Amino acid sequence: MVMNPKRPIGLLKLMGAIALAAGPCAVQAADAPRAPRAPSRQPNIVVLLGDDLGYSDMGCFGGEIRTPNIDALAKAGVRCTNFYTNPTCSPSRSCLLTGIDNHRNGLGNMDEYTAPNQRGVPGYEGYLSPQVVTLPEVLKTAGYHTYMVGKWHLGKQPDMIPAARGFERDFTLLDGAGSYWNMDNFTAAAPKSVFTEDGKYLTSLPADYYATKTYTDKLIGYIDANRSDGKPFFAYVAHQAPHDPFHMPRDWRNRHVGEYDVGYDAVRQARVKKQIELGIMLPDTQLAERMWFLPDPVVLAPAAKAMIGKKMELYAGLVENLDHHIGRLVDHLKQIGEYDNTIFVVFGDNGAEGTDLFAMVAGSPGTRDFLFAASKWSNNHPNAWGDPGSYVGYGPMWAQVSMTPFSQYKGWVAEGGIRNALIVSGPVVKREKGSINRGLMHIGDIMPTLLEAAGATRPATFKDAEQPPMVGKSWMRVLAGEAESPRTEQDAIGWEIFGNRAVRQGDWKIRWQIKPFGTSDWELYNVTADPAERKDLAAEQPERLKAMLTQWDAYVAANNVILPNRTMFETMEKQMPQRVSVDEGYPPLLYKKQFVPPADMMAEAKP
């Protein structure tokens, strides 16, 4: 590795950058739906989803990363600090698009980690169930154009792709991740990522393809193609960024050189200080304890600090590039006169990614060449990070920074796995612009909120199947300034993934996580007073814990929750190719063979 002798120790620079920054689903069924409002003109809707985007990454939520376009949406709308998703991507996306708990809509577990006792059980299909109606399907019947660009991760068969689930136009990566530059996937068994465009499986990508840019270009084209008919549009912009691998053009990679050499502790401290100044966090907020397996960064050698810091530099550049392309879309809507009539909903799909996948598999003998075909993923000199064929993630230390001030990250039901920054702006926001809201909100609320905003009604039956109740609650009264929360102190929200489980009700939360990320027993926290989950109160308040456990039981019964008989870690062990038993029928998605689309549904990418 070639080190830059001029790399500065960047604490002061980092603090200055921060100072410049912009000033699961419910246990109980939703209340009876209110009569839809009938606006004089139906609003456009843009859902901007960042993949693994952290709570504190955006400037308006305390980060030093420069996100002026996202921050401008926050300034024009409202920031919600108490918003929850699911712990991982496909369960979150399924809940977003259906308003139904993921255990009932097909993603009770990620397809990659479905346990043997969950296979074949309704709600655990590993793809979005065809028996539940989606948000675009309802909006389409209400007179909307429906567009999608970005990552799908909810099924690959012809009846599962975006075009079959209500999207009129789409340009979509069907896999859970992949190269930003081309169709390279990660495994030797399935080396090619699968894309669709307008219901056709692609044999090639545009010549100048770069994921974040191309998704934006395509969406702008879809919007312009239908401008003349006067119909509103719904756009689901499910960006791949900032999910690893950290791929980006070279001119976006060196915008923070040396700033992160100060180490992850210093950056977390700077971020929580800014969060308190902005009002995102309360004045006495403490940081979660550093993950026990991470060393104090002050003991690291200079070369190690520089290597680790460079990973975060790349992540920051990737987030800034994402913000740039969001700005392109917003600017275009302003130019064509649609901005003022557009609702924007901006958030990340789960906690930040704490697994440095390349480091993990490189340390597992016999697996690296299977996971990363040497000819495609061998470009891993630090000077090439970001180029095609490179694979870099930033690991648990920076994931915890992204989730400041919370504990843990993606995949877990600690606050760092499920709590996300949320921005809503547009004509539905009547409360003070740039304000902060602390109401308890959930990803399952998005569908009922947007249906009410559009004046649309979800059908009681779909494809002859009675629809489960939407478990979310509309935010319209909150956005109008008529209420502070869509929930009462009695309403509860539940989660389960990989056997880890949690419930939040009012200020209180219980969680159960497998060791070593938990105690393998129920813990109790007041997450309003203690958002970092530093003090387990289960022993001190057994009666409250007992009452909360009744909410967990209600969640299990209402949503057909089946705890897996194999943990995520056991599943990962089974994924190692030399240990997979074909007789068990248990190589998960990561090791399934390349999906082959029907020949009559294949096409080259459109210009």
- Residues annotated as part of the active site: 89, 153
Sign of the CA dihedral running 104, 154, 493, 565: positive
CA distance 218 to 224: 10
- Of the candidates 70, 41, 77, the one whose C-alpha atom is nearest the C-alpha of residue 479 is 77
Cα diameter, the chain: 68
Query: Rounded distance, CA 519 to CA 492, Å?
Result: 23
Residue identified by tokens 């027993």 is 521
Query: Is the omega angle on the peptide bond into residue 5 within 30 degrees of 0, that is, cis?
Result: no
Asked if 456 and 449 touch (Cβ cutoff 8 Å), the reply is no
Helix (H, G, I), strand (E, B) or coil at 325: helix
- Tell me which residue has tokens 């395509």: 218
Judge whether 87 and 418 are in contact, CB under 8 Å: yes
- Of 506, 531, 495, the C-alpha closest to 439 is 506
Give the integer Cα–Cα distance in Å for 583 and 585: 5
The answer to whether the Cα torsion of 525, 526, 527, 533 is positive or negative is: negative
Q: 246 burial class (0-12, 13-18, 19+ CB within 10 angstroms)?
A: buried
577 with 361: CB under 8 angstroms?
no
Do 590 and 175 touch, CB atoms closer than 8 A? no
Gap between the Cα atoms of 73 and 60, Å rounded: 10
Rg of the chain over all Cα atoms, to the nearest angstrom? 23
3-class secondary-structure state, position 571: helix
**Closest among 256, 244, 243, 397 to 317, alpha carbons compared:** 256
Phi, psi at 81, each rounded to 5°: -95, -5
Yes or no: say if 319 and 242 are a contact pair by the CB < 8 Å rule: yes
Do 103 and 523 form a contact (C-beta atoms < 8 A)?
no
Q: Quote the tokens at residue 337.
A: 């006169």
The strand pairing partners of 200, in sequence order, are 197
With contact defined as beta carbons under 8 Å apart, do 258 and 8 qualify? yes
| Phi, psi of 502, rounded to the nearest 5 degrees | -160, 160
Q: In 10 A of CB 354, how many CB atoms? A: 24
* Residues across the chain: 607
